[in-house]
Amino acid sequence: MAFTPLNALNAFIVVARRLSYAAAARDLGVSTSALSQSVRQLEERLEVTLLTRTSRSVALTDAGHRLLDNAGPAVDQALESLKTVRAKRGEVTGRVRLTVPSASVSLVLADLLPRFIARYPKVELEVHVDDRLVNTVAGEFDAGMRLIEAIDRDMIHVRLSGPTRLVVVGAPSYFERKGVPQKPQDLLHHDCICVRRAPSGEPWAWELERGKKTFRVPVRGPVTTNDAELMRAMAVAGVGLFYSLESRVESDLTSGRLRVVLEPYTPQVPGLYLYFPKRSQVSPALKAFVEIARDKVKADRVGVAT
C-alpha cells in the first residue's frame, strides 16, 4: 500500500470503525502489517496518536475520535462518488446501512429486500437488527426502521406497514398460575418480560389506553432483555407477560400458544416507518431504497383494496 494521506486516512477510518487491524485488513484486501504501517505514517505526519494498541485491542484516542467524526462522512461520500463514476449510465451502486428492530424482519424486510436486490443488484445492503433505539447519525447508518413514536421529528419518514395494536399477551399456563389481569394497575402484581430504555437503562413502561386516558405502568419481572424473539419465547413458555406488536405474535395467537389480555386498554399504533436524516444530498443508493419501499407500500394497499 503506497503511502498517500488519503490512502492512509481511509485505512485509519476502516480500522477505527472495526477496532481491529485484522478485520480492517481483510476489508481492504491488504496485509495487517501494511495497514499498521499506513496508520503509523499518518500519525507521524499529523504528529498525534490516533489509535492506542495492545496485544488484544484497539481503541481511539480523543484525536482519533475527532478525525473519525470529521473525516469519516466526507471519505464515505468521496468513495461513493467514485463508484458512481464507474457505474454505467442509469446504474445505481453504493451501500445502504440500516438499523432495524427484529419485528421488521418478518413484517417488512422479508418482502422488501428481495424486491430491492432484484432491481438494484449493484447496491450493497447492510442490515443491523437491534431492538434498542439507535442513533442513526452516531451509528453511521443511512436509515432506520421504527415505530413513529420513536422517530425524532426532524427525520424524514416513510410508512412501511399498516396500523397494528400493542397487546399484552401471555400463555395459558401463566394465567393458570398467576391469574388474568383485569386493569392496567394489575400488571404491577404480575411477572412481566421487560426491556430497558437505551441509553438511560431505565425499565421501559408499558403504555395502555382507554378512550382519552393513558396508563404508563412500570412493570417488573424475572427476565429483562432487548431481544424481542427471546421475549416471545419466554411468554410462550409461561415465564411472564409480553408487550408486543400484535402482528408479531399473530401465529401464536391463532394457535392458542398466547392470548391477549386487557383488550379494552389496547393502544393502536400507525405501524413501522423508514426514517433518515434531512440532508442536502441523499445517496443514489438510499434514494433507490426509499423508492422501492414506497412502491411496496403502494402495492400492499392495492392488494388490500382488491
Structural domains of the chain, with CATH: 5-86 (1.10.10.10), 94-162+271-305 (3.40.190.10), 164-268 (3.40.190.290)
| C-alpha 29: how far from chain center | 28
pLDDT digits (tens, 9 = 90+) for 114-125: 999 999 998 999
CA distance 152 to 156: 9
* pLDDT, position 303: 57
pLDDT digits (tens, 9 = 90+) for 168-179: 999 999 999 999
CA distance 213 to 200: 27
CA distance 37 to 45: 12
* pLDDT, position 251: 94
Q: Flag residues of the chain having pLDDT under 50.
A: 1-3, 305-306
Give this prediction's pTM. Answer: 0.61
- CA-atom Rg of the chain in angstroms: 24
* pLDDT, position 306: 42
| Nearest C-alpha neighbor of 281 from the set 74, 100, 127 | 74
CB 219 within 8 A of CB 206: yes
**3-class SS of residue 55:** coil
CA distance 227 to 248: 13
Residue 96 β-bridge partners: 125
Task: Check whether the bond before 284 is cis (ω within 30° of 0).
Answer: no
